[in-house]
Amino acid sequence: MSEEKKQTIKPVRENRTSLQLIINVVLIALVVLTYTYGWNVTQIDLSKLAAPSDGLKGLVGDLFHPDIVARDRQSYRAYRTYLIPCDAEHQRAGAVGEGISIMPDCGNIGDIVTIAGEGLRPNTSGTIAWRTQQGGTKILAQIETDDNGAFSFTTRVPEAPPGQTVGQHGSEVILRWEEGTLRMSETAKQVLAKMVETIFLALMATTMGVFLAVPISFLAARNVMATTRLGLTIYFLVRLFLNILRSVETLIWALIFIVWVGIGPFAGVLALTLHSVAALGKLYSEAVESINPGPVEAVQATGASRVQTVIYAILPQVMPPFLAFTIYRWDINVRMSTVIGLVGGGGIGFLLIQWINLIQYRQAATAVWAIVVVVATMDYFSAWIRKKVV
């Protein structure tokens, strides 16, 4: 029985197969053509990946070297005079005093002098400079104090510019060190301020988005609106409006709002709000449309108004999905708010793009790490909330 069937079917199949074959070949050719063109038009060049530039090495290095902490800078300065030439008071005795001494304390250019220090901050580096009476300064050497806070340096009195060779010269020692507790670097302070702005940008946009999207979602729900002809018209218009809003990306909206209200976080808030309204409006309205109509009818039947029906029969049903969608949107907005600054919409992205353009990779790395930490924390946080409430 089955054998016979196969035999009668076979020739038909073969016809089909040859046609199918042609179609398949054409299809494969089209696919190959498409991807070949795509490869070229996007300038894919894998060899570039294999031979990283110096810039990349710097970038990767700095990525693990972010500019986060610093200590207070302290310095110590001491000065002793050296008279050229000696006079009655200065008899090559040496000027001993607090901090440093200079032996002898008068003489001529080219004489040997010893500059020494005692009781200074131990193991601290600094510089020794020679100054003329007129203020000309020459760095003589880098020094480092020993465990007891002492140093000694012998040199010749350096040549001075013409006209500055006599008078009250002197030696200046400056020690510099970092002291005190670790504190945030300037970069970290900037990043923190912008990160706060970023999070609030997401918060404002999400909140405003939710407040606008909730009423709109009821207007965009068929089961709520389709009771009258006017309602149905509003439903279609609101749907159309949401679809148009959603088809434009957040960054594009940011660029438009920057033209409108200027560069800054307000433009970012507006852009994120608009996109949140569009996305949440659709998700919310789908939740409204999938509710159980029974309670709605029951409340309507008691003589309740439309708004009362929404509050008593629809809202309790859509609360869990609304919450879930809101948390999901919050996650997206936190992410988006970190990049909206790239186009000038406020937040951390503004600093990031600025530092990258200035090749300040250590600073850029600080911003990148801040983004990673904040986004990961927020993800964790919203997962926790989701677990609690949904």
Partner 1 sequence: MLLEIKNLTKTYDDGTQALKNVSFTLSEGEFVVLLGLSGSGKSTLLRCINRLVEPTSGTVLLNGQDVTAANGAELRRMRRDIGMVFQHFNLTRRSSVLRNTLSGRLGYNSTLRSALGIWSQADQQRAFQNLSRVGLLNKAYSRADELSGGQQQRVGIARALMQEPRLVLADEPVASLDPVLSHSILKYLEDLNHEGIAVLCSLHIPSLARRYATRVLALNDGNLMFNGLPEELDNERFKEIYGQDAESLED
Q: How far is the CB of 233 from partner 1 (least distance, A)?
A: 18
**Nearest CB to partner 1, comparing residues 125 and 308:** 308
33 binding partner 1? (CB under 8 A): no
226 binding partner 1? (CB under 8 A): no
**Nearest CB to partner 1, comparing residues 133 and 300:** 300
Answer yes or no: are the C-beta atoms of 132 and 169 closer than 8 Å: yes
231 binding partner 1? (CB under 8 A): no
* Residues contacting partner 1: total by CB under 8 A: 21
Q: Which amino acid is at 183?
A: R
Give the residue, chosen from 152, 300, 354, 382, that forms a contact with partner 1 under the rule CB under 8 A: 300
Q: In the beta sheet, which residues pair with residue 130?
A: 138, 171
Q: In the beta sheet, which residues pair with residue 79?
A: 172
**Nearest CB to partner 1, comparing residues 94 and 321:** 321
**Nearest CB to partner 1, comparing residues 191 and 291:** 291
303 binding partner 1? (CB under 8 A): yes
- Which residues, 6+ apart, have CB-to-CB distance to 138 below 8 Å? 129, 130, 131, 158
Q: Where does this chain touch partner 1 (CB under 8 A) — which range of 56-64, 163-171, 254-262, 303-311?
A: 303-311
307 binding partner 1? (CB under 8 A): yes
- Which residues, 6+ apart, have CB-to-CB distance to 25 below 8 Å? none
3-class SS letters over 354-366: HHHHCCCHHHHHH
* DSSP H helices in the chain: 2-41, 46-50, 54-63, 186-219, 222-225, 229-247, 250-261, 265-289, 293-301, 306-309, 315-339, 348-357, 361-389
**Nearest CB to partner 1, comparing residues 109 and 304:** 304
Give the residue, chosen from 304, 324, 327, 375, that forms a contact with partner 1 under the rule CB under 8 A: 304
Footprint (CB under 8 A) of partner 1, residues 267-296: 292, 294-295
372 binding partner 1? (CB under 8 A): no
Give the residue, chosen from 133, 317, 360, 382, that forms a contact with partner 1 under the rule CB under 8 A: 317
Q: How far is the CB of 326 from partner 1 (least distance, A)?
A: 17
Q: Of 288, 283, 280, 308, which Cα lies nearest the Cα of 212?
A: 280
Q: How far is the CB of 327 from partner 1 (least distance, A)?
A: 18
146 binding partner 1? (CB under 8 A): no
Q: How far is the CB of 316 from partner 1 (least distance, A)?
A: 5
Q: How far is the CB of 292 from partner 1 (least distance, A)?
A: 8
> To the nearest 10°, the Cα dihedral for 166, 167, 168, 170?
-10
Phi-psi region of 223 (alpha: psi -120 to 50; beta: other; left: phi over 0): alpha
223 binding partner 1? (CB under 8 A): no
Answer yes or no: are the C-beta atoms of 114 and 102 closer than 8 Å: yes
148 binding partner 1? (CB under 8 A): no
Q: How far is the CB of 185 from partner 1 (least distance, A)?
A: 51
14 binding partner 1? (CB under 8 A): no
CA–CA dist 207, 22 (Å, integer): 56
**Nearest CB to partner 1, comparing residues 85 and 293:** 293
162 binding partner 1? (CB under 8 A): no
CA–CA dist 92, 358 (Å, integer): 55
Which residue carries 């927020």 as its tokens?
378
**φ/ψ of residue 163, rounded to 5:** 90, -10
Q: Which amino acid is at 171?
A: S
Give the residue, chosen from 34, 108, 305, 377, that forms a contact with partner 1 under the rule CB under 8 A: 305
Answer yes or no: are the C-beta atoms of 111 and 135 closer than 8 Å: no
Q: Which positions touch partner 1 (CB under 8 A)? A: 292, 294-295, 297-305, 307-308, 311-313, 316-317, 319-320
